[in-house]
């Protein structure tokens, strides 16, 4: 039960093999017993979760068949959950409850899910580890001296440790894909604008019926199976209230039916950041496995946008967003428009690339999980490929899909010599999220997927 998928748990509840109350009690017990080692579920809502579980069991008896009925899940601390604080790791905000659920939380609850609690983050979501002055640092279940990633690191750690089967996080610069890669779980960065972000806001943000979209930022699910990612996306995608009067969502189906039909472009070298050998080796091994099953695998193409230019444009737009909320000066509006026009050219190139290929398979991060710095803050550099790289260069592999708005699914593809998980991302055409998720599902079936960290499926997990 601890490592069952969300779909399996929902089915067990519907078939009366397991009550929601029993499941929530078991999850609470596991978090209370084991989470002090990891510090993943930092805002706990256990009393209301138990009440919701009892209500779910009654609803089931009355014929309720909602897809997530009675399943306990977690969400990133940065989402508003009515009655709980939303701090974004900022001191002085931990005892201020919010009044209204984020849209994503509303839709998950409407599907029957029970919010067990909220998971740890980087302060202001601005790091690839999850540590802040309010809740402290989260550790990686694979190695407690390493980071689980960030800024959605608490959720990835909770999934790997068996504290939840489904999590919702966010991604502006690999904040879903970095922790999923470091913790060996799955994540999906949806196409830009596919899932509403209203209620995903720092403390003190005004409650409005229409909110400005954060350029390049998305919210999306994390899970231990690709099918759970699709289930979560189905429950949350679609226009917000002010759009729903005119727009209806109809995502296209996957492009292909079998792995042998897929056209895959494999990219493992970046102009601006070296890729660690274990990451390249695991991706090449996955490419070879795809070839053996008949997929068309290509390792270079002139259609790929120049990754140096992608980095420059992404960085300029990212810094413009940061400058809007901080004291540092940013680019002028004219500079932003010029960068946005450059982005349009890259988007056009990607559209032509996806006429020749169905997906791109590439690293999610350049390294496996780095050592945990925690309250010391991020280091200046990391070592990869035998050289020191700037710490801030970590999300450069993620930049292409964020910049162009396309979907990307993070999949586990292997382990390094020390047994740490290696992740890769499957990038697809804008709004063709089902293609990324479908090939991830087929790869899980053919090659395997999530594996529990050693010892965490026992009653006495590691305490190193």
Residue 140 CA to residue 153 CA, distance in Å, equals 8
pLDDT at 461: 62
pLDDT at position 179, please? Answer: 98
* pLDDT of the residue at 459: 59
Prediction pTM value: 0.97
Domain extent listing, the chain: 6-301+357-447
Confidence tier at 135 by pLDDT (50, 70, 90): very high
Bridge partner list, 118: 43, 75
303 burial via Cβ count (<10 Å: 0-12, 13-18, 19+): middle
pLDDT at 83 exceeding the cut of 60: yes
136-160 average pLDDT score: 98
How buried is residue 323: exposed, middle or buried, by Cβ count under 10 Å (0-12/13-18/19+)?
Answer: middle
Q: Residue 158 pLDDT > 90, yes or no?
A: yes
Q: Say how far apart CA 157 and CA 290 lie, in whole Å.
A: 29
Token match 């690191």: residue?
153
Q: Residue 192's pLDDT band (boundaries 50, 70, 90)?
A: very high
Helix (H, G, I), strand (E, B) or coil at 345: helix
Superfamily holding 6-301+357-447: Amidase signature (AS) domain (3.90.1300.10)
Residue 299: band (very low, low, confident or very high) from pLDDT cuts 50, 70, 90: very high
What is the residue-averaged pLDDT of the chain? Answer: 95
Overall size of the chain counted in residues = 464
Q: In this predicted model, what pLDDT tens digit does every residue of 28-71 receive, in sequence order?
A: 999 999 999 999 999 999 999 999 999 999 999 999 999 999 99
| Residue 457: predicted pLDDT | 77
Please write the tens of the pLDDT for every residue from 197-207: 999 999 988 88
Active-site positions read 76, 151, 175
Reported as a pLDDT band with limits 50, 70 and 90, residue 290 is: very high
The reported pLDDT for the residue numbered 294 is 98
Q: How confident is the model at residue 458 (pLDDT cuts 50, 70, 90)?
A: low
Q: What is the pLDDT of residue 464?
A: 52
Q: Yes or no: say if 390 and 366 are a contact pair by the CB < 8 Å rule.
A: no
Please report the pLDDT score of residue 463 as a whole number.
59
On whether the CB atoms of residues 252 and 188 are closer than 8 A, the answer is no
Residue 383: the pLDDT is: 84
pLDDT for the residue numbered 29: 97
Residue 275: predicted pLDDT: 93
φ, ψ of residue 425 in degrees (nearest 5)? -110, 145
Taking only the tens place, the pLDDT of each residue in 86-115 is: 999 999 998 899 999 999 999 999 999 999
pLDDT in tens, 330-353: 889 999 999 999 999 999 999 999
Among candidate residues 199, 194, 197, 198, the one with its CA nearest the CA of residue 237: 194
Distance CA 420, CA 368 (A): 7
Side-chain-facing half-sphere of 150: CA atoms under 13 Å? 32
CA distance 77 to 121: 7
Phi-psi region of 218 (alpha: psi -120 to 50; beta: other; left: phi over 0): beta
Give the contacts of 12 (CB within 8 A, at least 6 positions apart): 1, 4, 18
Q: What would the pLDDT profile of 365-414 be if each residue is shown by its tens digit?
A: 999 999 998 777 889 999 877 788 899 999 999 999 999 999 999 999 99
* Residue 213 clears pLDDT 90, i.e. is over it: no
Write out pLDDT tens, residues 171-185.
Answer: 999 999 999 999 999
Distance CA 129, CA 455 (A): 23
């Amino acid at each position: 039960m601890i490592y069952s998928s969300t779909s399996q748990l929902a089915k067990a509840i519907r078939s009366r093999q397991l009550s929601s109350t029993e499941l929530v009690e078991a999850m609470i017990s596991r978090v209370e017993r084991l989470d002090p080692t990891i510090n993943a579920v930092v805002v706990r809502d256990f009393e209301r979760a138990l009440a919701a579980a009892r209500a779910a069991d009654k609803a089931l008896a009355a014929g309720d068949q909602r897809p997530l009925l009675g399943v306990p899940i977690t969400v990133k601390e940065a989402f508003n959950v009515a009655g709980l604080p939303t701090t974004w790791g900022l001191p002085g905000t931990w005892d201020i409850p919010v009044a209204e659920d984020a849209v994503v939380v509303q839709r998950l609850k409407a599907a029957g899910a029970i919010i067990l609690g909220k998971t740890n983050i980087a302060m202001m979501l601005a790091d690839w580890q999850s540590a802040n002055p309010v809740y402290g640092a989260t550790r990686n279940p694979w190695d407690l001296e390493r980071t689980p990633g960030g800024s959605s690191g608490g959720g990835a750690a909770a999934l790997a440790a068996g504290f939840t089967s489904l999590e919702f996080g966010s991604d502006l610069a690999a904040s879903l894909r970095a922790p999923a890669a470091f913790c060996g779980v799955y994540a999906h960065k949806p196409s830009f604008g596919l899932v509403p972000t209203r209620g995903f806001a720092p403390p003190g943000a005004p409650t409005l019926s229409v909110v400005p979209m954060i350029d390049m930022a998305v919210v999306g699910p994390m899970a231990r199976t690709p099918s759970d990612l699709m289930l979560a996306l189905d429950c949350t995608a679609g226009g917000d209230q002010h759009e729903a009067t005119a727009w209806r969502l109809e995502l296209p189906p996957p492009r292909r039916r079998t792995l042998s039909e897929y056209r895959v472009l494999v990219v493992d070298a970046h102009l601006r950041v070296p890729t660690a050998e274990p990451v390249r080796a695991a991706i090449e091994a996955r490419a070879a496995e795809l070839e053996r099953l008949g997929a068309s695998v290509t390792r270079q193409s002139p259609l790929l946008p120049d990754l140096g230019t992608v980095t420059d444009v992404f960085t300029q737009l990212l810094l413009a967003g940061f400058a809007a909320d901080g004291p540092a000066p940013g680019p002028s509006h004219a500079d932003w428009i010029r960068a946005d026009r450059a982005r349009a050219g890259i988007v056009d190139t990607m559209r032509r690339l996806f006429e020749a290929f169905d997906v791109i398979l590439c690293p999610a991060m350049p390294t496996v999980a780095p050592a945990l710095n925690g309250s010391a803050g991020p280091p200046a550099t990391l070592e990869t490929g035998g050289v020191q790289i700037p710490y801030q260069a970590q999300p450069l592999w993620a930049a292409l899909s964020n910049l162009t708005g396309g979907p990307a699914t993070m999949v586990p593809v292997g382990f390094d010599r020390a047994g740490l998980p290696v992740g890769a991302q499957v990038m697809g055409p804008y709004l063709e999220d089902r293609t990324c998720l479908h090939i991830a599902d087929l790869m899980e079936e053919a090659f395997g997927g999530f594996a529990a960290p050693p010892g965490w499926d026992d009653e006495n997990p590691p305490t190193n």
